[in-house]
Structure 1
């Protein structure tokens, strides 16, 4: 497929984010020979655009790792997207709702790595050795596709529907965590809105991290020391409304809070 055609769709997604105006599904505009690699090529155009605008790449997110989330979106495989420094918000820092289109939140475990991951095939041991610490996290996902009517191709092209993220402030070493059996609770105004468990993320968040590390080498953008990995949702996504405040509690971590501005004006 010609680069000029891919650039057209990348431009549509870029403008949708700038104007907060969602577009029709990308899959409806692609021909029948298009693959997930086509969608990643579209994503990469906007990644390069961001880097050329001096946005700092600080990590990756893995999407569609929870069976519950896969069912919500009607897809059955993971994907990845890029995390930039300007997407990061502090624990309890207000996130401007007016910059988002149709946001949702999900609870995750983040890994911060201390060694480059450059092997063609990684193991659990590689990921454990390369992980400096873990943090509780909240990802803000936001589709630039109308009404979240996405296929795998749509969300991949759209940077895995990523918009922002909040990291907890107390780092925890992996040896102090049960990544498989840790329970997650997300509340809004004190009411439970989502719950899950570590194994909801590809049976173990480290499985997701191994998958991502291999994929990043395959596509020529390996994970490097200091990078953040959002390993994937531990439970169902929750729709965000202006003024919402979400608190996520994951066993072994301090709570982390995402606060959204009260007005979209």
Structure 2
């Protein structure tokens, strides 16, 4: 499938055809080049890249999806919603097999240097916020290779970001922020029903480590744009990804001092 064919299926919310070539890309490096071609198509029609998502950072769910390393994709102005009031809405229209992921989002203040350390990255972060990423897969039953997920836009569909709190409110060093995030837990609810508990350490030992891994991978990817001031980076789900239906309400209750976040689906 060409990047244009992938984009057509994305726009229509359709599964990829059953007779598509397998795999869609020979390996992850080839898949990222396809993803960058897809990114160029979206930019050419007026969409604006506003950051990145990191996927499959949660090692506890690798065996369920048979993807055993993180991947990344682009977040767009057309897929991002901000809410400072602790709750927001999202449409599932034209999404394909959507699922929900609670996570922590970073806002970047500066471009990280090459081979940045955790402390370097800490100095490049402006704020943290709770987030819900809605992911989707255009392959039946969420069965895919890692390369498929990259070519499929990193599985990204929507991102809701809650209140953005300056990083200094949480910590004054990378070590302190890393420890805090690693031990923080989230309790995910669908309506009044408790669904699952997760913790920050699930995502490569903590969201700051996920950002560190992503920065390295982005810098080694030929043709990939650098992280820029103002970019958002969502660092991976703390729980499994849960199937969604219109009319549902979900809430992620993070330990203090992190805010909680709710979302209503339509």
Q: Which one of the candidate residues 91, 115, 120 is aligned to 1:126?
A: 120
CA distance in 2, matches of 1:172, 1:65: 24
SS in 2 for 1:223: coil
Aligned position for 2:241: 237
Structure 2 unmatched ranges of 5 or more: none
Number of residue pairs matched?
252
Q: Which one of the candidate residues 75, 79, 82 is aligned to 2:74?
A: 82
Aligned position for 2:26: 34
Aligned position for 2:105: 110
Q: Which one of the candidate residues 6, 9, 12 is aligned to 2:2?
A: 9
Structure 2 counterparts to residues 139-178 of structure 1, below 5 A: 139-173=133-167, 174-175=170-171, 178=180
SS in 1 for 2:187: strand
> Structure 1 pair 40/158, CA: closer, same or farther in 2 (3 Å)?
same
Aligned position for 1:69: 61
What are the Cα deviations for residues 65-116 of structure 1, in whole angstroms up to 9, with x where unaligned? 1023322211100000000111012343331222212100011110101011
What are the Cα deviations for residues 160-180 of structure 1, in whole angstroms up to 9, with x where unaligned? 101011111241424085111
CA distance in 1, matches of 2:81, 2:3: 25
Asked if 1 retains the 8 angstrom alpha-carbon contact of 2:110 and 2:229, the reply is: yes
CA distance in 2, matches of 1:24, 1:58: 30
Asked if 1 retains the 8 angstrom alpha-carbon contact of 2:118 and 2:208, the reply is: yes
TM-score of the superposition, structure 2-length normalised?
0.89
SS in 2 for 1:193: strand
CA distance in 1, matches of 2:19, 2:232: 28
SS in 1 for 2:171: helix
Aligned position for 2:252: 248
SS in 1 for 2:250: strand
What is the aligned-residue RMSD (CA, Å)? 1.9
Aligned position for 2:195: 193
Q: Which one of the candidate residues 198, 213, 216 is aligned to 1:214?
A: 216
The more displaced of 171-180 and 220-229 is: 171-180
CA distance in 1, matches of 2:122, 2:18: 38
Is 1:137 matched with 2:141? no
Asked if 2 retains the 8 angstrom alpha-carbon contact of 1:109 and 1:135, the reply is: yes
Structure 1 unmatched ranges of 5 or more: 1-7
How far off its partner does 1:52 sit? 1.1
Asked if 1 retains the 8 angstrom alpha-carbon contact of 2:113 and 2:120, the reply is: no
TM-score of the superposition, structure 1-length normalised?
0.89
